[in-house]
Amino acid sequence: MSLTENIFVLGLVKDINDKCGATVGEQDKFGWTPLHHAVHFGLEVVVVLFLANIDKSPAYKKDKEGMCAFHVATKNGHIGIMEKLRSICPDISELLTHNGENALHVAVKVRKTTVVESILKTLGYNSLLNKQDKDGNTPLHLAAIIEDYEILVMLLNDKRVKANIVSKDGLTAMDITQSSTKLGVSEKLDLISKLKSIGGFCSLKQQHIVEPNMASQNINAAPPLEDQGNKEHQLEKVEGIKATDEEGEIAKDFDLFLWMVRPFLDPGVAKEAVEMDRLIATIIATVTFGAAFQVPGGYESGGPFQGLPVLRHRTLFNLFLIFDALAFGLSSSSIFLHFVATKFGPDSALLVFKKVKKNRTNLLV
């Protein structure tokens, strides 16, 4: 349209908005308001006009998919409108879709690189970066799922990103990246290196993904039976079916186990668990050490056995001493290993444990 026509249409919209301002918030069968349509077509002036009224509620109305005007602007890459909406309604960027996705989720899913970059650079978007949707996926998870190298690098270069968040499927960004088929070898190695540098790790679920795939590949690669009447081949086939059933049962058990330990995969929870473990081990070591000197029943106060425990001939007393020594030894070892792991890293603690175990075995032999 020409400039004159644009001015005429804008004037017409302004007159309608002034006389029928309430219609801006009315929704069609898809849940879209006039504001949704204006945002969709990138009509920034009309968007500002619609929100010039005191009532800003149309900006927060969602369609059937839970998309507000801000999400629509994000999906269509209208960065200017996004900034206008945020300046008029500062908290609009925090709105979520019905799937629990924020604007950064939406931008990543539609591969809007410039929008992702804009969101990361804009202050106040810290909470969006590591927010999980209803499936437990962060924007980093989604970028790994769609295998978009440019967006992945952009997210990983942001110091605020957390690479060790586990989705409801039990997967981290590292798991998804390693199983990628579209990324090049050099790209995948670069991403894995970046993930490791910010604390990314493989979840327990990764073994559950790799091993069944290898098993299925072996089954598919097996040559067809030439002699269906051969009893040995038939027996192998039956055993293979049983093995597959057993793998299915193991997979179900693993899913249950993964659901139980998932909270402890979070670094914050793991740190609290370590602190609690260390505190409990210290208390046990202190109590058992004191119990070794203040034994039940006391000591002989006279005679040839003066200073020996009164209950030394009792079986239960001797069991008490054995378990007390065992509790003291294990709790002290736990404290020591925690100290080594904190000072030199978990691998050092594991190495110390293996050496102690090896020396103990050699002594027994």
Same domain, 150 and 98: yes
- Rg over alpha carbons for the chain, rounded to the nearest Å, is 32
Domain count of the chain?
3
Instruction: Assign 359 a pLDDT band (cuts: 50, 70, 90).
Output: low
- pLDDT for position 8: 38
Average pLDDT over residues 31-57: 88
In this predicted structure, the answer to whether residue 37 has a pLDDT above a threshold of 50 is: yes
* Average pLDDT value for the chain: 77
Residue 178 inside a domain? The answer is no
- pLDDT for position 32: 93
Same domain, 36 and 51: yes
Which of 124-133, 183-192, 220-229, 255-264 reaches the highest mean pLDDT?
183-192
- pLDDT for position 206: 60
- pLDDT for position 225: 42
Same domain, 257 and 274: no
Same domain, 255 and 307: no
> Model-level pTM?
0.56
- pLDDT for position 22: 58
Same domain, 271 and 304: yes
Same domain, 64 and 87: yes
163: exposed, middle or buried (C-beta count within 10 Å: 0-12, 13-18, 19+)?
buried
Same domain, 360 and 270: yes
Are 138 and 165 in contact by the 8 Å Cβ rule? The answer is yes
Residue 175 inside a domain? The answer is no
Same domain, 149 and 26: yes
Which of 115, 137, 158 delimits the end of a domain? 158
The tens digit of pLDDT for each residue in 214-254 reads 444 443 444 444 444 454 554 444 444 444 455 555 555 55
Per the structure, the complete domain to which residue 23 belongs is given by 3-158
DSSP code per residue over 135-186: TS--HHHHHHHTT-HHHHHHHHTSTT--TT---TTS--HHHHHHT-SSS-HH
Same domain, 214 and 346: no
Instruction: Assign 138 a pLDDT band (cuts: 50, 70, 90).
Output: very high
The tens digit of pLDDT for each residue in 173-189 reads 999 999 889 999 999 99
- pLDDT for position 295: 85
Alpha carbons 315 and 279: distance in angstroms, whole number: 32
- pLDDT for position 292: 83
Residue 173 inside a domain? The answer is no
